Structure 1
């Protein structure tokens, strides 16, 4: 395996140059990553940096250092062709009185795929899509979202962990949303396709009204995790989940750009800030935007269609 070292030749190009205020050095080893973020702004608090869900290994007045295993910190693994890619985000969580706004920077390590590396006993279900300078990714995960799923078969009533993410590269920090999702027995939706609605009405997890499905708390703005309770649809057949992923300006949430799930004895709740759950009030009617700006313009966000599957839902009683 050819590892990447400081500014190694195989590192995916992070086309945007580092801010004049900071510098990032990344050392990608086969199983270990070292990241050093150096700040020149005296008002920056280096303890507020996070790599995925990991705190810095050490901090000083100007540096945040992370020395971590690639199996930790919510690194996402992508195997494509002869490349083994690890993706993550470095985020700055600004304090309320800080002049430095929160931001996210992509972290990408690329290795040659080991000759002795083989997939698990099943084919991991994931898909990657590129649009503009954004790379969208959706996959099945294991029960705690810490790694790829170990099976594509789910008993009725169990949970199907789904994670979607966007690698932002040169783009401003964006919030990833699942705008619409339906299950179908076909990899392409047709007018005659039989479907099961999961997320409708611009981000409303309608399945959560009749099940224990829910969005999980975010680890970073560029990914979203969904615990989907296996439903009674096309039992024993191949099922494909069709979604529209939206990378959106996090400052422009409204009733058409949101992530809402239903909480028993409470009602609809906004994932990213429950205090603004009134944005979910339209989930039982029709969510229409008051804004005139089109997402297709790409100025505030990008929409990407994605398909996850096949997976199988089984009836344990049959």
Structure 2
């Protein structure tokens, strides 16, 4: 069945030029790939090759073979435009008693995305943003967040399900947060843009004070679900959400790194642990920020700007 779905798909392989004296062949198939490495040097140990976090499927003499699925071996997946791209790294790890230097080579399989294909976790309609080895996504979902939205038109007062996520690849586990979000009628923000604030003050869902909007209970630390009640802004026109996505150390929450709902007749509540809702106390004043640090050096987190849309809000029938 899968072969029928992918029939006629364009297959492409990108392999970096190799300074080592060897031959690498990659055969990209619909849902798996085979990589064959033929080594000309006697002293290279084939058992020390890795594709992502996978050991060789087989090896004989100077030939090392990987036959692996794209759901294994820490493959990185990127959906962009009409392309579906899977990438990984072939590595050779030097043994302590070897004079051979370790090396890493990129391996990429690129496919034309079938029109009826979407990933059950990340939809192709998502806007996608790269940050080093991290890939951020934000998109419109259906009512139970199980797949893509069937429409980009929402009646006033209905809920707009939004999911933001980050693919961490080899990074330490991080918590995804929505730091700021405003609605605008344009895909770019200009000095004179008319804005509707949704999330302000470093993670405070201010729209929940006057509506039923809410952050949903978290299912996965690398995702955050927002049920946004359709508001009276740019009615019948295209609306864009301009947001800052934050991937942050889960033990590093403070007044500036949090997700807070306003609960009527109760006050502000921290989504990830209501026992520490005092972190939301500044939502009605000013939550002072501190300097962001980068995971590139193994520290706390990164921020990525993202735009979601367009979608439209219509009058109730």
TM-score bracket for this pair, using the shorter chain length: 0.5 to 0.7
**Matched residue, 1:117:** 115
Aligned-partner Cα distance in 2 for 1:124–1:160:
18
Please state how far the C-alpha of 1:17 moved relative to its aligned partner.
5.5
**Matched residue, 1:263:** 263
Aligned-partner Cα distance in 1 for 2:304–2:196:
20
Aligned-partner Cα distance in 2 for 1:137–1:239:
18
Residue 5 (1) aligns with residue 32 (2): yes
Q: 5 Å matches for 1:129-278? A: 129-278=129-278
| Residues 54, 73 of structure 2: 8 Å contact kept | no
Deviation track 1:69-115 (CA, whole Å, cap 9, x = no partner) reads xxxxxxx9946433277xxxxxxxxxxxxxxxxxxxxxxx988346x
Aligned-partner Cα distance in 1 for 2:138–2:109:
19
Q: 5 Å matches for 1:85-96? A: none
Aligned-partner Cα distance in 2 for 1:207–1:8:
51
TM-score, L = length of structure 1: 0.66
**Does the C-alpha gap of structure 1 residues 271 and 6 become closer, same or farther in structure 2, counting only changes over 3 Å?**
farther
Please state how far the C-alpha of 1:219 moved relative to its aligned partner.
1.4
Please state how far the C-alpha of 1:162 moved relative to its aligned partner.
0.5
Structure 1 portions without partners, runs of 5+: 10-14, 38-75, 86-108
**Matched residue, 1:83:** 84
Q: 5 Å matches for 1:304-315? A: 304-315=304-315
**Does the C-alpha gap of structure 1 residues 80 and 305 become closer, same or farther in structure 2, counting only changes over 3 Å?**
same
Please give the secondary structure, in 1, of the residue aligned with 2:144.
coil
Please state how far the C-alpha of 1:296 moved relative to its aligned partner.
4.7
**Matched residue, 1:48:** none
Deviation track 1:222-247 (CA, whole Å, cap 9, x = no partner) reads 11010000000000000000000001
Higher radius of gyration, 1 or 2: 2
Structure 2 portions without partners, runs of 5+: 1-5, 7-28, 37-49, 56-66, 87-107
Aligned-partner Cα distance in 2 for 1:119–1:171:
28
**Does the C-alpha gap of structure 1 residues 257 and 284 become closer, same or farther in structure 2, counting only changes over 3 Å?**
same
> What is the number of equivalent residue pairs in this alignment?
237
**Matched residue, 2:292:** 295
| Residues 182, 197 of structure 1: 8 Å contact kept | yes
Aligned-partner Cα distance in 2 for 1:308–1:223:
16
Aligned-partner Cα distance in 1 for 2:314–2:126:
21
